[in-house]
Amino acid sequence: MGEFDNAIVAGNAGDSWKPENAGDVIIGTYVAVKQNVGINQSNVYVVQEDGKDGTTSVWGSAVLDTKFEEIPVDSRVKIEFLGHEKGKGPKPYKNFSVKYVPPVQSKVNDIFPDAKEA
């Protein structure tokens, strides 16, 4: 297996996830965020979705941007569309549940069990 076999292709965020029904879910590894994309200068979260070869892009929103602020890249994520909810404004907004498992930070001794501190 080569060093770039699972690399992200620059400029490509993959297919867009378009949840339609409450309960629609995407699960995978959060690999990157692209900022200031499109005419609305939105964030796009790039997820290596489980069971897919390519990446999937998830367009940001006020709800998703707030939740993704604390999520480190390389975390495992589960994004669930909860449906449309009535907000303060005249239009309903899309609500999401986002759960994540942060990446494991390996210690030198995990990789090199006989390593000594200098």
Quick check: is 6 in a domain? no
78 Cβ neighbours under 8 A, 6+ residues apart: 25, 26, 27, 97, 98, 99, 100
Identify whether 77 is part of a domain: yes
Q: Model-level pTM?
A: 0.77
Q: Tell me which H or E stretch contains 83.
A: strand 76-85
Q: The domain spanning residue 61 has which CATH number?
A: 2.40.50.140
> Is 113 a domain residue?
no
Looking at the domain assignment, is residue 117 inside a domain? no
Q: What are the tens digits of pLDDT across the range 72-116?
A: 999 999 999 999 999 888 889 999 999 999 998 655 556 666 655
Residue 1 counted as domain residue? no
Q: With respect to residue 111, please indicate whether it lies within any of the assigned structural domains.
A: no
Angle at 71 between CA 68 and CA 73, to 5 degrees: 110
What range does the domain containing 33 cover? 15-103
Residue 66 lies in a domain: yes
